[in-house]
Amino acid sequence: MNKVAVIGSGNVGATTVQRLAELNIADIVMVDIVEGLPQGKALDILQAAPLMGYDVDVKGTNDYADIAGSDVVVITAGIARKPGMSRDDLLATNIKITQQICASIEQYAPDAIIMTVTNPLDIITYAALRCTQFDRNKVFGMSGLLDSSRFASFIAKELNCSVKDVCAMVLGGHGDSMVPLPEYSTVSGVPLSKLMDEATIERIVNRTINAGAEIVAYMKSGSAFYAPSAAIATMVESILNDTKRIVPASAFLNGEYGQHDICLGVPVKLGKNGVEEIIELELTKQEMEALQRSADAVREGISKIRS
């Protein structure tokens, strides 16, 4: 049986565990710093197994030794964004938490693939890669698939069509500088520009960029977790089943898209080795410029963790 460790048993972590259990693809261990929280939530998820028909082990723990043997470790631990708080405000605390967790992963699950989720995502991913010294294919962040799913859901709503036929693509950093790509977004193969006018596309693009903040503003405390956990589960499944899905993710770039020494959202092929390929799309001058602005914003954050 495959094994997945989810670090953090808050909203994103616990919902991810639930989704993974329902996919029936791996035994799962959920780790949190708060005593009793992961144990209680894991037991609750386990007790749903007879009803939902999954047959995997789900364990909650405060002991990192329990992640031993994990194929994938998903890091959701950290503090979540509060209203009015930018993702960058979270930086210092979440970097420290990530470094502690990465040290435990190196100690107990040195062969694992690490998927970061904690915000600010691209910077946290870079920090995880740097502090573990794992190969770059084994450390990446979940971001673009969530942003693309949000974009796709808005497109389907606008066109009153099935989300199943929408294929949307968002590149760049997971933040205000993300780069939704209408040119690479289609409905049953038909480009978006043939289905809606420019003003409508722009409105949907802007809503996508602000989608996380829109939810935070509604909820007042806490941030999104249903769609994030769905994106995480989709990516974990592609790794464990070696499906080789092509999804946007925050990957370390070594010259791709003209970028070096940075983690940024780009389309990747996800299989049993993690990021097996980075796909380079042909971008227009404007899209390249937007991606560069996004890279600049992420680099500014990275420079803060270096200093």
List the catalytic residues: 174
The Cα–Cα gap between 83 and 7 comes to 24
CB 197, min distance to ligand APR, A: 33
225 sits near ligand APR (criterion: CB under 6 A): yes
Stretch that binds ligand APR, among 48-56, 65-73, 159-167, 222-230 (CB under 6 A): 222-230
Residue nearest to ligand APR (CB): 10
The β-bridge relationship of strands 26-31 and 58-61 is parallel
85 sits near ligand APR (criterion: CB under 6 A): no
Burial of 60 (0-12, 13-18, 19+ CB in 10 A): buried
Q: Which amino acid is residue 205, in one-letter code?
A: V
Q: Which of 3, 4, 5, 10 binds ligand APR (CB under 6 A)?
A: 10
Task: Compare residues 5 and 295 and give the one whose CB is closer to ligand APR.
Answer: 5
CB 90, min distance to ligand APR, A: 6
Q: Which of 26, 72, 77, 213 binds ligand APR (CB under 6 A)?
A: 77
Among candidate residues 295, 302, 278, the one with its CA nearest the CA of residue 126: 302
User: Are the C-beta atoms of residues 155 and 185 closer than 8 Å to each other?
Assistant: yes
Size of the site for ligand APR (CB under 6 A): 28
CB 164, min distance to ligand APR, A: 25
Does 24 count as an annotated binding residue? Answer: no
Q: Which of 223, 238, 250, 294 binds ligand APR (CB under 6 A)?
A: 223
Does 118 count as an annotated binding residue? Answer: yes
Cα dihedral 68/73/79/84 (nearest 10): 180
Task: Compare residues 1 and 34 and give the one whose CB is closer to ligand APR.
Answer: 34
Does 149 count as an annotated binding residue? Answer: no
29 sits near ligand APR (criterion: CB under 6 A): no
Does 94 count as an annotated binding residue? Answer: yes
Query: What are the structure tokens assigned to 212, written together?
Result: 């996380």
Q: Which of 6, 7, 263, 266 binds ligand APR (CB under 6 A)?
A: 7
Write down how long the chain is: 307
User: Are the C-beta atoms of residues 98 and 66 closer than 8 Å to each other?
Assistant: no
The Cα–Cα gap between 68 and 271 comes to 21
Q: Which of 17, 18, 78, 178 binds ligand APR (CB under 6 A)?
A: 78
CB 148, min distance to ligand APR, A: 16
Stretch that binds ligand APR, among 74-82, 133-141, 180-188, 198-206 (CB under 6 A): 74-82
The answer to whether the peptide bond before residue 120 is cis (omega within 30 degrees of 0) is yes
The Cα–Cα gap between 68 and 75 comes to 15
Query: Hey, what long-range contacts does 103-106 have (CB within 8 A, 24 or more apart)?
Result: 103/131, 104/64, 104/67, 105/64, 105/67, 105/73, 105/132, 106/132
Does 119 count as an annotated binding residue? Answer: yes
Query: What are the structure tokens assigned to 226, written together?
Result: 């249903």
Binding-site positions for substrate? 81, 87, 119, 150
Applying CB under 6 A, the residues found at the interface with ligand APR are 7-13, 31-34, 37, 76-78, 80-81, 94, 97, 100-101, 117-119, 222-223, 225, 228
Which residues participate in the annotated binding site for NAD(+)? 8-13, 32, 94, 117-119
